[in-house]
A and B are shown apart, each in its own frame.
Chain A
Amino acid sequence: MEIFKSGIEIHQRLAGTKLFCNCPSRLVEPDAKPSATLRRTLHKVQSELGATDKAAAFEGSLNKTFTYQCFGQSNCLVEADEEPPHGLSREHLKTAVEIALMLKAKIVDEVWVMRKTVIDGSNTSGFQRTAVIGLGGLLETSKGPVGIQSICLEEESAGIVGEGKEAQTYRLDRLGMPLIEIATSPDIKDAGHGAEVAQKLGMCLRMTGKCQRGLGSIRQDVNISIPGGARVEIKGAQSLEDIPVLMQNEIMRQSRLLEIIKTLKDRFPESTIGFEKPADLSELFKSTTCKVVLRALGQGGSVHGLRLPRHNGLLGMELYPGRRYGTELSDYAKAAGVSGIIHSDEDLKKYGFTVQEINAVLHGLKINNNDSFVLVADKQAACIKALELVAKRASMFFVPEETRKALAQGASSFLRPLPGSARMYPETDVLPVRLKHDYLQRVAAHLPTSPEAALANLKSILNEDLANKIFKSQHLSLFQTLVAQQFDPTVTAVTLEETLVSLRREGVEIPDVERTVVPVLAVFEEGKITKAAIPQLIRAVAKKKAAAIEGLAPAMLVRQAIVESGLEKLSGKGLESVVIASNFDIPGIMKKYRLNIDPAELQKIVAEKKR
């Protein structure tokens, strides 16, 4: 691999209330009906230092309307940007301080919440609230220490639903959830190291017991640059396994771009490229059979074209498998809302163009042998904007700093220009929080166990396989709580990690694991049921819960289920009489009372009575 600089950024959602209001941090079902739908527009603004952030200017130039779906269970007027925030959650602040201390960072003395301007619609207020808690920490890895630049506490953005041409739709259930952001220094040594660092940071976060679990609750971003290239942020790696490929592809993309730039510099000794205005070519396609063009013209749109002078052969150049220079230009065009571009390095016949049409385009755009061209078919304003963005990108004699979106298989696409610091200004609706020395000392005295210590601890009370399973499990903190209450570690771990899995496969729904499973384990600990009965009892309790017998205390529910399912433990004198009455028919007894008898006790009684 060539030389590069890379860092990782983790975003982890915390459980509990939202960061600036009292709504629960709970995602609503994907098909839930919104309580209300809002339509809003956002416009560009300036920071306290008077400059306009270029990412915001880019978004602000696109004039979009946004639709927001509000859900009563998870949203209030704060998310609807109709009420000021309610102050920074002290509970989540404490979790952030814990993480920062675990990563050996220096905690700031006074926390100031900032507004990070974001006007792509993903925040109703036009900004994200964010605060830095710790700076200058360290993570030990197999390839040496990795610097932790910052630990921040910030709000989650709204979730995108659809991307129609005119409006973008977001769901607000996600908006305002607390996020811990951990950003490393560019100390990642290689692709595998990136995955290791991400995995270690994830473990550290989970040790707090305050993290949300489930799809989307943790996101990994990769920052990467190569010498002569640019700092690029790739957001939302789908899994840890994707990180190495993302890194490799991005390094390749920047290297190939540098080669293309060198070619451009050779072809353009004057170091600038002049583009004509996008030309309306709709007339040339009056009798076309090309589906793409027919659709656009049928809806009252147009076909526009742009000459890319001296670009012959460049658009088709591969940056990495599946991505060409033309794809990069297409990404920029798509920001204007069009679905894509057609360019001259492609096989134009596959679109259904005739030779005459292609010649007409060549003539209309005055294309000569050295040139390329780009076509767009869509609403007229979108066509013009799309081609202006293509020209803007094509005129860069450098690799631009970008925020990119991670796609499948380690690919990525352009999202927006990389934002600068001009977009940050104080969140004046929220008072700063002073973190005094004695507060920090109290938190430091009760830090969560480190991941290494936690795993070692587990291995001392469980076999290796179970220890590893529960360590990675979402039920880790529940397990630790129960063991602290003297529940049997192995029975508890097996129930949480194996029994629940097979029950789920059967189709048994257990929405609230803690309230269903803990009372069952409790009656086992009390000796009221056998180990073998545990899965059946959980099944029975889950069914009763599903039949909505609310209001019944869990313990009562479990007692009823035991009786109804005939799971009472048979032991002592009762077992003795059964043994005698059956004339020591052990197989018969086991067949009938399999779930009610402890096999060890049966053996002992049989041995005694036979004497």
Chain B
Amino acid sequence: MYSLKLESLFNANGIKIGDLIRVAKQGAIYEGILLPHAQIGDKNCAVVKLKSGYNVGIEITEDAKIELIRQGQGGVIAASLEETSAQPSVQESFISILGCGGTIASRIEYMTGAVFPSFSPSQIVGAFPELSKVSAIRSKKLFSLLSEDITVSHWQQIAGEVEAQINDGTNGIVLMHGTDVIGYTAAALSFMVQKPPVPVVLAGAQRSSDRGSSDNKMNLLCASHLAKSDIAHVGVCMHGTSNDNYCLFHSGTNVRKMHTSSRDAFKSVNRPPLAKISYPDCTITQIREEGEVQTRSQNQGNTKFALEMNPNVALVYSHPGIKPEFFEGLSSYDGVVIAGTGMGHVPTNSFNDPSCTSVVPAIRGLVDSGVVVAMAPQTVYGRLSMNVYTAGRLLLEAGVIGNNCDWLAETALVKLMWALGQTKNPKDAKELMLTNISGELSQRSRIDETHNASETD
């Protein structure tokens, strides 16, 4: 909002947002459309769009004269994006595009002056007609969030909608989602929708969809092809490189955002991606071995929906100097995942040095009071091995679970929320945690081409 002073000045002159106005001050004359104030910038500067298209901020000083030239249409943003209202006919095979927000579907937002999720899925399809050549599409907006705000109840809402679409006979699902948290959501869905009978493909965009270089079009097209494929997994589809040459389909429990801003931020950790989708032809090539990828026919009839989750779980990051009091303060949680250093460690003062402090007693206190405490690697890559050093063994003795696990910390967090939703009994929850549900745990750490000695070594 503009300042009170400016608002009353506009009112006094019969001026509203969207009107064509003239401001004259100190020999300068500015004519243009009055824009809403963007919650950034000076509240006393009227932002006007000149005929040239440039926006300028003009301070309305005492000596400035302001007048209305012509009233606007009412509402500056003419939301005249092409919509497709056509929903598929009863017989047609269709894929479902569900919208949760994020920059894959967004426009300029005046409240903050920043990018804000606002396109509905039908507007996206209207903007990219190529999507409808892939399949008939049923689109539905679930909610519009920047993904950092997403909660467990949103995850449950999404899972519920996935179930409803499956029951309605969808051929595959694409879920548009903000990239910040898409990995967490993919993990949550992997536990809530086990062995899906159709692909459930989460897609996002690192560059906002209001610009010509946005990766939204390519990611969406590749995701739509994946939704029609025989890779019946929950997973994330994003650029594989900085080029517009292929996307990768990552399994939902093993994918992490590894860069704040680049197109190829998403990597599969400790596992290869499921598949590669080249662009623009959208040919799908499976990357994982046969037998490591579930198909529709394998999953048909074996799908399990388990939507209960307990949000009262925390993910904490251990570091040198972390205090026992910190862990003591977590006693109100039902579950805690610790992102520990190395192979699963926290300060334990294994050598009894008077200048060091162990946090093990505090952690034991949590476990004894019924909190499920799980360890995960801070290093992102690699497998926990808590038998090797005293620190690890002390934690195991204290009742921390997770030894030999190769899960992502974020996935362990989501799984613990899910496990504690499935059962209130800590012992049963621990057992569930250590059972592989959707690929979050594996028994073998792969060797692959990246281990090759190079010619120049």
Contact = CB atoms under 8 A, between A and B. Distances in A.
B59 interface: yes
B30 A127 contact: no
A423 B78 CA distance: 15
B145 interface: no
A108 interface: yes
Interface string A393-432: 0000000000000000000000000001111111010011
A425 B108 contact: yes
B53 interface: yes
B42 A110 contact: yes
Contact of A39 (B58, B213, B243): B243
B56 A39 contact: no
A425 B211 CA distance: 10
A112 B108 contact: no
A423 to B, nearest CB: 7
A41 B261 CA distance: 18
Nearest to B47: A112
A40 B244 contact: yes
Contacts of A38: 242-243
Interface string A46-58: 1111110000100
Interface in B22-37: 26-30
A434 interface: yes
Interface in B241-287: 242-245, 260-263, 280
Contacts of B54: 112, 114, 130-132, 150, 152, 424
A226 interface: no
A411 to B, nearest CB: 28
B263 A82 contact: yes
Report, as a range, how many residues of chain B touch the other chain.
35 or more
A16 interface: no
Contacts of B78: 49-51
A582 B27 CA distance: 78
Contacts of B47: 110, 112
Contact of A112 (B55, B209, B217): B55
B69 interface: no
Interface in B214-251: 214, 217-218, 242-245
B212 A44 contact: yes
Contacts of A550: none
Contact of A432 (B41, B59, B210): B41
A45 interface: yes
Which label, helix, strand, loop or mixed, suits the secondary structure of the B interface? loop
A119 B261 contact: no
A128 to B, nearest CB: 11
Given A82-B263, A127-B211, A426-B108, A108 B58 contact: yes
Given A38-B243, A431-B40, A106 B261 contact: no
A216 interface: no
Contacts of A426: 38, 55, 108, 113
Given A45-B211, A424-B53, A428-B113, A110 B217 contact: no
Contact of A150 (B26, B45, B52, B76): B52
B77 interface: yes
A489 interface: no
Interface in A71-102: 77, 80-84
Interface string A514-528: 000000000000000
Contacts of A36: 242
A126 B213 contact: yes
A413 B79 CA distance: 37
A135 B29 CA distance: 9
A434 B81 CA distance: 33
B262 A82 contact: yes
Given A82-B242, A106-B27, A132-B56, A56 B212 contact: yes
Contacts of A82: 206, 242, 261-263
Most buried by A among B56, B80, B113: B56
A110 B56 contact: yes
B63 to A, nearest CB: 13
Given A82-B263, A431-B41, A110 B242 contact: no
Given A81-B213, A106-B26, A41 B262 contact: no
Nearest to B209: A45
A125 interface: yes
A40 B56 contact: no
Given A39-B243, A39-B244, A50-B77, A114 B261 contact: no
Interface in B3-50: 26-30, 38, 40-42, 45, 47, 50
A114 B57 contact: no
A116 B212 CA distance: 11
A40 B76 contact: no
A42 B213 contact: yes
A81 B28 contact: no
Contacts of B262: 77, 82-83
A131 B56 CA distance: 8
A117 interface: yes
B298 to A, nearest CB: 36
A109 B57 contact: yes
B107 interface: yes
A421 B41 contact: no
A50 B81 contact: yes
Contacts of B29: 136
A394 B253 CA distance: 58
23 contacts: A36-B242, A39-B244, A42-B212, A43-B217, A47-B53, A50-B79, A51-B78, A83-B262, A108-B56, A108-B57, A109-B42, A109-B59, A110-B41, A110-B57, A111-B57, A112-B57, A126-B214, A132-B50, A422-B53, A423-B53, A424-B52, A432-B41, A432-B57
Given A108-B57, A109-B42, 12 more contacts: A44-B212, A51-B80, A80-B242, A106-B27, A110-B42, A110-B57, A110-B59, A112-B55, A114-B54, A118-B212, A125-B213, A136-B28
Interface of B: 26-30, 38, 40-42, 45, 47, 50-59, 76-81, 107-108, 113-115, 128, 206-207, 209-214, 217-218, 242-245, 260-263, 280
Nearest 7 pairs between A and B by C-beta?
A110-B57, A126-B212, A421-B53, A424-B53, A106-B28, A50-B78, A109-B59
